[in-house]
Amino acid sequence: MEIWRLPISASQRGKLISAGYTSLSSLSSISSSDLARELNVSESEAMNILKVASHSRGSETSNASCSIVEVLDTFQWWAGAQSAWDMLHDEESLMHITTSSADLDNILGGGIHCKEVTEIGGVPGIGKTQLGIQIAVNVQIPNDFGGLGGNSIYIDTEGSFMVERAFQIAEACIEDMSEYNRFLRKDFQECKIKMQPQDILENIFYFRICSYTEQIALINYLDKFLSEHKDVKVIVVDSVTFHFRQDFDDMALRTRVLSGMALKLMNLAKRFSLAVVLLNQVTTKHTEASFQLALALGDSWSHTCTNRIVLYWNGNERYAYIDKSPSLRSA
């Protein structure tokens, strides 16, 4: 801290600067009697100046230490580098969340990946919301049946979540486990008593979001929520796009806000070893004298997710392809 910032009188600051004292460190080794003589003030006044300087120096050190701690907390991964071999082992040991579609699971390399952000987009009516609900249910499949046995968070920005449909999907999920058990297991009666559709619905934490400010606030709150609900293994946002296409005129601001939100979601996925699924809308993009469907929010947003899947119609059948992924093969 510089001398002119010290909370002392202006005349005292002027005398210190005139005597060559420009920083707190320059006052650290001088005695009160010597300072009194150099400033031509009483020794008691000099002692008071040194006392204020010492207190300010202590506060400055404390603030600097807090800043360093905050930085180290933010970048705590610096303290423990991980080898590529360990990373490969971790990835191979991670469980996937099935989508209940063998073809889609195959495209995704086994299902929705934990510790990653997966974006799924498509035209209205293609089944994005149903897929989101399906994932929120399937994450609760017990470990004995090849699932994660976790809970889910469903963030609804459009009001399209259908609890009746979620109940039907939960019933179908239990029926699928029943079929699996009939062929491969003998203790399904015990499992059937323990897991009911209402149990699955109770483990879906639902948030209704009505504006982009609420959406940002909730994403920031999730850190605390997940610390208190460590069984959550997937976050579904349906859709990530809605409020950002409706309420924004400043595109540069929108890009910065979206980037910050995406970074927060990626950090949550890594820190809590969970999957993040973002459902997105589509728009048209002009390329090479033609128009084609593209996921909404622009090119900058396209770099924020780990995997991007596009759903589309071909006649009466649904198809999917990989729009972007660092590890999944094109399909």
DSSP labels, 133-175: HHHHHHTTS-GGGTS---EEEEEESSS---HHHHHHHHHHHHH
Q: What does the pLDDT read at residue 113?
A: 92
214 and 294 fall within a common domain: yes
Same domain, 30 and 147: no
Q: Are residues 261 and 203 in the same domain?
A: yes
Q: Do 137 and 92 sit in the same domain of this protein?
A: yes
Asked, for residue 71, whether it belongs to a domain, the answer is no
Q: Looking at residue 226, what is its pLDDT?
A: 96
- pLDDT above 70 covers what percent of the chain? 83
Q: Do 14 and 149 belong together in one domain?
A: no
pLDDT of 281 strictly over 50: yes
Residues 31 and 162 occupy one common structural domain: no
| pLDDT greater at residue 141 or residue 7 | 141
Residue 297 domain boundaries? 86-324
Looking at residue 79, what is its pLDDT? 47
Cα–Cα dist 189/192, whole Å: 5
d(CA 177, CA 171): 10
pLDDT tens by residue, 58-80: 665 555 555 445 444 544 444 45
Q: Is residue 152 part of a domain?
A: yes
Domain finish residue from 18, 35, 56: 56
In the structure encoding, which two tokens stand for residue 245, read together?
């296409």
In this predicted structure, the answer to whether residue 232 has a pLDDT above a threshold of 80 is yes
pLDDT band at 20 (very low <50, low <70, confident <90, very high): low
Q: What is the mean pLDDT of the chain?
A: 83
**Mean local confidence (pLDDT), 261-283:** 92
CATH of the domain at 269: 3.40.50.300
Q: Is residue 306 part of a domain?
A: yes
Is residue 103's pLDDT more than 60?
yes
For residue 4, pLDDT beyond 90: no
Q: Quick check: is 303 in a domain?
A: yes
Four-point Cα dihedral 323, 329, 330, 331, nearest 10:
-110
Give the mean pLDDT of 24-39: 82
The dihedral over CA atoms of 131, 221, 211, 270, expressed in degrees to the nearest 10, equals -40
State whether 47 and 124 are in the same domain.
Answer: no
Q: Quick one: pLDDT at residue 92?
A: 78
Domain identity same for 239 and 164 = yes
pLDDT > 90 fraction of the chain, expressed in percent and rounded: 37
Domain boundary among 14, 37, 56: 56
Q: Does residue 319 lie within any of the structural domains? A: yes
147-150 contacts at long range (C-beta below 8 A, 24 or more positions apart)? 147/95, 147/97, 147/98, 148/95, 148/97, 148/114, 148/233, 150/231, 150/232, 150/233, 150/234, 150/274
Task: Judge if pTM exceeds 0.75.
Answer: no
Q: What is the pLDDT of residue 264?
A: 92
Q: Please give the pLDDT value at position 192.
A: 52
Q: How far apart are CA 43 and CA 31, in angstroms?
A: 10
* 276 φ, ψ (degrees, to nearest 5): -115, 125
Contacts of residue 275, defined as CB under 8 A and 6 or more positions apart, other chains included, come to: 97, 112, 113, 114, 115, 116, 118, 135, 139, 233, 234, 235, 269
The enclosing domain of 40 has a CATH number of 1.10.150
Specify whether the CB–CB gap between 56 and 63 falls below 8 A: no
d(CA 244, CA 258): 8
User: Is the pLDDT assigned to residue 262 strictly greater than 50?
Assistant: yes
Mark whether 45 and 97 lie in a shared domain.
Answer: no
CA distances, 240 to each of 74, 118, 243 (Å): 25, 12, 8
Asked if pLDDT for residue 8 goes beyond 70, the answer is: yes
Higher pLDDT, 193 or 91: 91
For the cut 70, the answer to whether the pLDDT of residue 190 exceeds it is no
Judge if 179 and 308 occupy the same domain.
Answer: yes
Considering only residues 92 and 78, tell me which one the structure prediction assigns the higher pLDDT.
Answer: 92
With respect to residue 69, please indicate whether it lies within any of the assigned structural domains: no
Does any domain span residue 102? yes
- pLDDT for 107-164, tens place per residue? 998 999 999 999 999 888 899 999 999 999 999 999 888 899 999 999 999 999 999 9
What is the number of domains present in the chain?
A: 2
Res. 321 pLDDT band, cuts 50 70 90: confident
Model confidence at 318: pLDDT above 80: yes
Q: What is the pLDDT of residue 71?
A: 46
Name the residue among 15, 102, 110, 48 with its Cα closest to residue 329: 110
Same structural domain for residues 26 and 96? no
Same-domain check for residues 216 and 94? yes
Tell me the average pLDDT across 30-52. Answer: 87
Residue 41 resides in a domain? yes
